[in-house]
Amino acid sequence: MDKKFFTEKKRLLSLLLAITMMFSIMPGMTYAAKADNTSTTENIEDNFEDYATGGLDEKAYTLEELYSKDDDAVSNEELIDSIIEDNEDNNEAAYELDGDTYPSHVDNSTSKYFPKVDSQEYIGSCTCWAEVYYAFTYATCRANDIEATDDKIMSPAFIYNQIKAYDGGSSFFYALNLLMHSGAPYKDTADFESYYNEYACKTWFPEKSIWEEATNNRLADYAYVGTPDTITSPKDSDLDELKSYLSNGCLVTFSTNISGWSYANIPSGSDYAGEYIVKSSSGGATGHRMTIVGYDDNIFIDLNGNGTIEEAEKGAFKIANSWGDDYRNDGFIWLAYDSLNSTSQAGVNNYNRYSTMCNYAVQYVDSTVKKASDVNMVLTLNTSDRRYNKILINATKTDDSGTDYVYSTVGANRLSYSLDGADYATDGTIVYDLNNVIPGITKDNVKDYTWTVTASDTYSNSKYLTLMDAYIEADGNEVLEITPDYNAIDGSDKTYTFTNSTFKVKDFTVSNSNPTILDKVNLAATVSGGSGDYSYTFGAVHNGTTYYFPMYDHSYNTYELSLAYPSIDYPAGSNALVGSNTLFVTVTDNVTGETASKNIYNYNVEGLKITDFSVTPDSDDFYVNEKVHLSVSVENEYYYRYNTKQFSYTHNGVTTTIPVYSGSSGYSESFTPTETGTYTVTYYIRDCIGQEATVSKTINVVDKNTLLTVYYSNSSWGNGVANIHYCVDGSSWTDVPGVKMQGSDIKEYTWKYVIDLGDANGAQICFNNGNGLWDNNNNSNYYLTAGTYGIKNGVVNDASLKVSVSIDREVGGIYNNSKITAKTENGTPVQYKFLIYKAGSARVIGPGTVFDSSQSEASYNWTPYSEGTYTLEVEVIDNRGNITSGFINNYVVEGPKFNYFTTDKPSSQSVGTEITLSTSFVNFQPDQYNSYSFTISDGTTSTTLYPTVTNPYSASDSVATATWIPTEAGTYTLTAVFAAYTGARYTTSMEYVITDSNAVTVYYNNSNWSTANIHYCVDGLSWTNVPGVSMQASDKAGYTWKYVIDLGSANGAQVCFNNGNNWWDSRNGSNYYLTKGTYAIENGNVTTIS
């Protein structure tokens, strides 16, 4: 297209340059100037609301209502008019031709360059849909001669999110200038997060690839188009400028007060008969930005209603709207030429009449869409409040010319977020084509300038700005860079100079890209271009504060980082590195003193979170005096036994804390509401490193006494249909045959129905199968009050959930396992919860164990560790949402004790009788250092026996046994001893009598033997089996062995000895004959011992 038709005039860009010499790169208007150009007049940034368009809360309107309302409010027309009027002398006519020269019909929306009609939905972004989605997409596709397919549509979100007002709306001045200097990526790359939430439009898409894509799609220029003054016919010269642009394939955008539009249908006989057309506008406060895509001089409408089509009633512009293809004419609308007149030329009533075009329009000069120069500055910022952040880029010619270039920022978006829209500090990367600073910059001359960048935070509010990194790329290669110091600024600024060094951090890696606060990760850095002698410093920027990780040897290029406790100077209880972080490494060359650094951006550490909060039963309503069960699931808790975990509920303004039982995990609890009304139930957790999380739900508690639930079965009806026919007290019977019952939710019955009694006491009930068979309780009906009942074969039962609890030990003992069993009736359990309370305390001490089970029986093995009296409760939730508990009250758990201490023979045994002592100690903590013993005392001397122990590690059935053979008559005290590993000592005793007996006690010595057996025959009895009986060790000095023979009623016994190896002492074959008494035998000699 020949560029001669474009107006040679002082464009709006020049006008804005006169307003401010600032060159906005974050994100709004952008300007380049020499440093000595300091004169300014009114700053558009200070009058943002005067230029803002798109303030409608579109969520308040239906699509039909939006036909007369929209969101582009240009409120300060006097200011805009003054800008235009100041420059009208320089606005020469654009390609002025006679009106007959232009085509009578133009429609650029049929061009392959025009994108499909789409909708801005509930976002007040009409300006960016007109300027970016329609006009800029059209311009870029036309410049590149490509079709406007979905992947070639430009992103309105990229521009809108950077320039929007808080409640929605934006300025077309900002949009156009941002398109010129930052450009726009494709819509597929950067789209709205939500089309239904204005407040979700927060991110500036701060990713290097997105901003690089935008720099390659920038608007070359734009021009102001004068609004027609008075249009009298389609040939009126006031239409020439608009027609010249449109007929030469350009689009024009404009603003309008759409809420005042008056619609009609184009009459038959005209082109586009039946389509909608706008006749006039009565103004209105709702602004909207739209796109003119063409015109048609042949359209007509009888505006004054006189039945004659006059010249002023002919012609209309075709307009593209951004309300979807179901708006009016498949997304388009016609504006009658006369509707542009503030005074109609068709002779209609001019009361409260406004022009539909609000006196200004913008046209794209689309023949040159700018591409990137491939010399870019890449900036990474860490901030949580972009409102007060500015960047100043300075380039000074290094020769003697002294030329100084300045590139500065004016933030247009008034929203307090990070660059990516978070409400906490995160990293964001943005890219700027340095051709904006120095036109014609190339990779060959970029180093001819000294480059600096100044990060500025203009307001001290404890929300910090940190310039994390900045470098200049040429053809994708890094040619200049700064060395960041990671010092955050707040209400101040910091300047960095770009340098060119071969010393670089080549790689900086972290071992885990998706960590939680519980993890440890490894950092590693590699360096190139240096001496080889380096010092490494690792750290992080978190929430605007820089932390350096403690290193005892800085020569190591790796570091193991605990994310929960990252450094010795990190504040205690401060959530550690939860959230977004910038990890960094700074390396110093110890020989040259050079430093280099590298970052890992937006390293997100997932912290404590509550993943689920369930309230059971799962019901719309809960009931007075019935338990409500609360449970949560928590992830990434830094566990410590003293972490704070708390359930509470708030009712009628009073908050009550629900005790969490000691020893429990703290993730579930129950409470019983005692009043009707709304309850807010809350869970709060704080762990030992300061992480906090909370969650709340609201429940409604009602009085269950109004509900009558009936379960029914009839064996003769099978599983077919059952109807319930009933009459609530004071009301009428249901219509015959009654109401069809639902299938039962418990296995004991077939059908179910719930009757709300309201204020009544009860209801009469009967049943039928729909085929003439009735169950009316033998003609007397069933009368039931509030509650849950089961009726089967004429018998009424309580059908509410029932729970019975038993335990396998009648009396419990500490350290002894006990099995608690719960059995249910009526209903299908879904969960059992075992709770144990100790007497004198309202707190559950354990275990709070939950089993998800559909079985009618569940068991839990419990080992108590403290003696006392307990209440055992099993809470059951069934498939109906009912919660019922069963109890064992006053269950006794005993402490350590002797279960028994016995002898195998009763007291009063004779000397020499073998007596077995046996004892069992229970309810102790098993340990290898526990021990049993027995002591035998006659009051003068004491003997200790060490028993054999079976099941020594059982707290319920360990048994100790030992054998005692008394040698003297007397009264003895027998004592059983249990010595615990803790030092505790437990004893129990008994008295035992030994009488003098008719016995022979033999002490024997033989120096040649190591063992001795005694072979004997009591008078009148048989000999013992060869080799006899093994003798015991002697209890008298000077003798080796001992044995006691009970003579019974006999007078004596024959005795001989052997060593078990066929060596005998039989007194030369005549044996020894001994009577009652005590004897010593050695070398064939018998000595009587007193």
Residue 34 lies in a domain: no
| Shared-domain flag, residues 688 and 597 | no
What pLDDT does 88 receive? Answer: 40
| Shared-domain flag, residues 517 and 557 | yes
Helix H or strand E encompassing 599: strand 595-605
What pLDDT does 994 receive? Answer: 87
| Shared-domain flag, residues 1007 and 1080 | yes
Residues with Cβ within 8 Å of 259's Cβ and at least 6 positions away in sequence, in order, are 68, 69, 70, 284, 285, 286
| CB of 124 closer than 8 Å to CB of 168 | yes
| Shared-domain flag, residues 558 and 580 | yes
Residue 620 lies in a domain: yes
Q: Rounded to 5 degrees, what are φ and ψ at 652?
A: 55, 40
Integer angstrom CA distances of residue 42 from 20, 23, 46, 48, 396: 7, 15, 8, 11, 28
Residue 832 lies in a domain: yes
First to last CA, the chain: 145
| CB of 289 closer than 8 Å to CB of 130 | yes
Closest CA to 127 of 103, 162, 152, 97: 162
Closest CA to 473 of 448, 446, 497, 491: 446
1056-1088 per-residue burial string, b: 16 or more CB within 10 A, e: under 16? bbbbeeeeebebeeebbebebebbbbbeeeeee
Q: What are the mean pLDDT values of the chain's consecutive 10-residue runs (1090 residues total)? A: 30 24 29 31 35 40 32 37 40 45 95 97 95 95 94 96 87 88 94 93 94 91 84 95 92 92 95 96 81 97 95 97 97 97 93 81 58 87 91 85 65 76 92 88 92 93 93 93 92 94 93 93 95 95 87 94 72 68 95 94 93 84 85 88 89 89 68 93 91 94 85 86 95 95 88 91 94 92 92 88 91 91 85 82 56 81 89 84 85 94 88 92 92 94 94 91 91 94 94 84 93 96 95 89 89 96 93 93 90
Residue 345 lies in a domain: no
In the listed set 748, 774, 797, which residue is the last one of a domain according to the structure?
Answer: 797
| Shared-domain flag, residues 692 and 750 | no
| Shared-domain flag, residues 615 and 600 | no
| Shared-domain flag, residues 526 and 598 | yes
Give the chain's domain count: 7
Closest CA to 314 of 368, 272, 253, 364: 272
| Torsion-angle region of 1071 (φ positive above 0: left; ψ -120 to 50: alpha; else: beta) | left
62-81 per-residue burial string, b: 16 or more CB within 10 A, e: under 16? eeeebbebbbbbbbeeeebe
Bridge partners of 73?
A: none
| CB of 356 closer than 8 Å to CB of 348 | no
Instruction: For Cα atoms 390, 396, 402, give the angle at the middle one, nearest 5 degrees.
Output: 135
| Shared-domain flag, residues 928 and 951 | yes
Closest CA to 207 of 381, 464, 7: 381
Q: At what angle do helices 12-19 and 172-181 cross, to 10 degrees?
A: 100
| Shared-domain flag, residues 392 and 424 | yes
**Where in 232-287 does DSSP place strands (E)?**
252-256, 261-265, 276-281
Q: What CATH number has the domain bearing residue 874?
A: 2.60.40.1930
Q: Please classify residue 491 by burial: count the beta carbons closer than 10 Å to its beta carbon, then call 0-12 exposed, 13-18 middle and 19+ buried.
A: middle
Taking the C-alpha atoms of residue 461 and residue 468, their distance in angstroms, rounded to an integer, is 20
Residue 233 lies in a domain: no
Residues with Cβ within 8 Å of 90's Cβ and at least 6 positions away in sequence, in order, are 9, 10
Q: How many helices, marked H, and strands, marked E, lie in the chain?
A: 10, 72
In the listed set 650, 672, 702, which residue is the last one of a domain according to the structure?
Answer: 702
* The residue count for the chain: 1090
Bridge partners of 888?
A: 872
Edge-first strand listing for the sheet containing 628-635:
609-616, 628-635, 668-671
Cis peptide before 847 (omega within 30 of 0): yes
Residue 751 lies in a domain: yes
Residue 120 lies in a domain: no
Residue 439 lies in a domain: yes
Range of the domain at 388: 375-406+414-476+485-497
In the listed set 542, 576, 605, which residue is the last one of a domain according to the structure?
Answer: 605
| Shared-domain flag, residues 987 and 1005 | no
What pLDDT does 846 receive? Answer: 53
| CB of 774 closer than 8 Å to CB of 768 | yes
What pLDDT does 503 receive? Answer: 93
Give the count of beta carbons closer than 10 Å to the beta carbon of residue 889.
12
Q: What CATH number has the domain bearing residue 1084?
A: 2.60.40.10
| Shared-domain flag, residues 991 and 1017 | no
| Shared-domain flag, residues 817 and 718 | no
